Amino acid sequence: MINEPASLDNTSDNIQTGARQTAEPIVSAKALRKRFGDFTAVDGISFEVPRGQCIGLLGPNGAGKTTTMRMLMGLSTVSDGELQVLGCDARKLSRAELARIGLVPQDDNLDPDLSVRMNLEVYGRYFGVDRATVRARVPELLEFMQLSDRADARVMQLSGGMRRRLIIARALVANPELVVLDEPTTGLDPQARVLIWKQLIALRKRGVTLLLTTHYMDEAQRLCDRIIVIDHGRILDSGTPDELIERHVKGHVFEVQKPFVDGFDESAWDCEDIGDSVLVYAEDAKAFVDTVPTDTQYLHRHANLEDVFLRLTGRALREV
């Protein structure tokens, strides 16, 4: 069970009150584009991030996810279209406005020469949080991220999971309303991933808005209220995980081995050939089982977000 610091709870009450007072999304993109010379990385996408929700931005490598997040943070200029963050033009975010956004980058960019505690204190001071507030918040954040016993350790003494938790703690130092997480659990073991999931769910419950990219579909399905699938800089579809599963793959997946036995009619079903076998997507599992010959070899499981991702973006390996 994760302890929730009192000051974090009080802040979240203020955020939730503000969310009730306005329906304005915390992020709004309209016909957003980013070009690098002749290459268009983000190609006219439009989306909104409502306050207090976790929105997943999913896509293969090179789809435009990180570029979109960099524009949102003011780290990359917008080529065309509109991008509003916290009601402000993303092109003109001040340091005070950026302090309302917490960033968890893909890369480990902690200062290895500083202790765990000092990494948090220096980051808070960078965004203009007064020294007394930073010193009060640091122990609370260390407890929240279960790093209290490592407060005086150097970063190089931490495991990979501890460093990721420290980066998340650092993103929360200035009490942000929005936290942007770019693949926050990549490379972590299952225990570390589950711990971070619990922490992110706790933040969302307290009204903090999360914008998440991840290559772990189980992570997206567990954490996200809504999913935006992007590829080649364009949005392919969006909706809740359940909506996307229903729209693209129905409720059940059967993997039918080749060669088929006589009597199996592939044309009667929504099928996808994946080489040595065929995936059959069915709403009614019993209807499929009742119609296939008894000698047919197959595996059966419930459909999930990974099926949606692969159907929308393809199965070809992306090298970027």
State how far the alpha carbon of 18 is from the alpha carbons of 23, 180, 210, in Å: 9, 20, 16
Burial of 276: CB neighbours in 10 Å, binned 0-12, 13-18, 19+: exposed
- What span, in angstroms and rounded, lies between the C-alpha atoms of 206 and 197? 14
At residue 8, the pLDDT reads: 53
H helices within the chain, ranges in order?
Answer: 6-21, 65-72, 95-98, 116-126, 131-144, 160-171, 190-205, 217-223, 241-248, 285-291, 305-313
At residue 16, the pLDDT reads: 40
At residue 155, the pLDDT reads: 94
Indicate the pairing of strand 209-213 with strand 226-231.
unpaired
CA R_g for the chain? 22
At residue 126, the pLDDT reads: 87
- What span, in angstroms and rounded, lies between the C-alpha atoms of 176 and 99? 6
At residue 42, the pLDDT reads: 98
At residue 319, the pLDDT reads: 63
At residue 14, the pLDDT reads: 38
- What span, in angstroms and rounded, lies between the C-alpha atoms of 258 and 297? 8
Burial of 192: CB neighbours in 10 Å, binned 0-12, 13-18, 19+: middle
Q: pTM of the prediction?
A: 0.88
Closest CA to 78 of 36, 21, 106, 116: 36
Find all residues with CB under 8 Å of 22, minimum gap 6, and list them.
51
Find all residues with CB under 8 Å of 200, minimum gap 6, and list them.
54, 168, 181, 184, 210, 212, 223
CB atoms within 10 A of CB 148: 15
Q: Is the peptide bond before 60 cis (omega within 30 degrees of 0)?
A: no
* Strands of the 234-239 sheet, one edge to the other: 101-104, 178-182, 209-213, 54-58, 226-231, 234-239
- What are the tokens at 187? 């490379």
- What span, in angstroms and rounded, lies between the C-alpha atoms of 224 and 210? 9
Closest CA to 169 of 129, 203, 219: 203
At residue 49, the pLDDT reads: 97
At residue 135, the pLDDT reads: 92
**pLDDT per 10-residue tile (average), the chain, 320 residues:** 44 39 84 97 98 97 94 94 96 90 92 95 90 94 96 94 94 95 92 93 96 96 97 98 94 91 83 92 94 89 96 80
At residue 12, the pLDDT reads: 38
At residue 134, the pLDDT reads: 94
